[in-house]
Amino acid sequence: WFCVAALHGSGGNIVTIERTEDYRRVKRLVDANPIDQESEWKLTISRDVFYLIEVQDGEDVGVWCFDPTENGDYEMHAAMSKACRGKAAVTSGLDAIRWIYENTDANTIIAPVPEYLKYAQRIPIAAGLVYEGMKHGRKIYKMQRELFNELSEVM
């Protein structure tokens, strides 16, 4: 695994983002944090897919999945425990996007959020992703590398 570093946290918490190829670790997080009793996305075992685990004080609390598309963009999915939701999910997601842009040649991150997950729609918007429209019952949000670089300058 690759550790980004102590990235954020409050009250002395140490929070890191780690890349993992431990698919059992990813599956435990996905299965333990379903949305409406069903996982929003399925685990893909492939070296092409990046799984980044959010770790708070030594405990796995969420996973970000970045699945490459045929044109070199990455589709982003998440499974977050209650310890990594709301503002914590926005911060974690930005850390994960930063990791992808620093470690791959990705140009665009695509976040398809099921339309029925109203509360989850706030996360990509708060993180600066741009709404692009609907596709197969999902709201599509995107972030270009150039936009991320601009946002990083003011963060």
CATH number at residue 34: 3.40.630.30
Distance of CA 49 to the CA centre of its chain: 12
- The answer to whether residue 119 is domain-embedded is yes
- The answer to whether residue 3 is domain-embedded is no
Instruction: Please give the pLDDT value at position 73.
Output: 93
- The answer to whether residue 139 is domain-embedded is yes
Write down the pTM of the prediction: 0.82
- The answer to whether residue 136 is domain-embedded is yes
C-beta separation of 13 from 28 below 8 A: no
Provide the pLDDT confidence category of residue 40 given band limits of 50, 70 and 90: low
- The answer to whether residue 13 is domain-embedded is no
Judged by average pLDDT, the poorest of 79-93, 117-131, 136-150 is 79-93
Instruction: Please give the pLDDT value at position 139.
Output: 94
Provide the pLDDT confidence category of residue 3 given band limits of 50, 70 and 90: very low
Residue 99's domain comprises 20-153
* Strands, sheet with 108-114, edge to edge from the N-terminal-most edge strand: 2-3, 15-20, 50-56, 59-68, 74-80, 108-114, 138-144, 130-135
Structural domain total, the chain: 1
Instruction: Please give the pLDDT value at position 142.
Output: 95
Instruction: Please give the pLDDT value at position 147.
Output: 84
Smallest CA-to-CA distance from 122 within 92, 153, 86 is with 86
Each residue's pLDDT tens digit, 9-27: 555 567 788 899 898 999 8
Higher-confidence position of 49 and 89: 49
- The answer to whether residue 37 is domain-embedded is yes
Residue 82 is classified by DSSP as: G
Residue 65's identity, in one-letter code, is C
Higher-confidence position of 142 and 116: 142
Look over the chain and give the mean of its residue pLDDT values, rounded to a whole number: 82
Check whether 5 has a pLDDT greater than 60: no
Check whether 4 has a pLDDT greater than 80: no
β strands within the chain, DSSP E: 2-3, 15-20, 50-56, 59-68, 74-80, 108-114, 130-135, 138-144
- The answer to whether residue 1 is domain-embedded is no
- The answer to whether residue 6 is domain-embedded is no
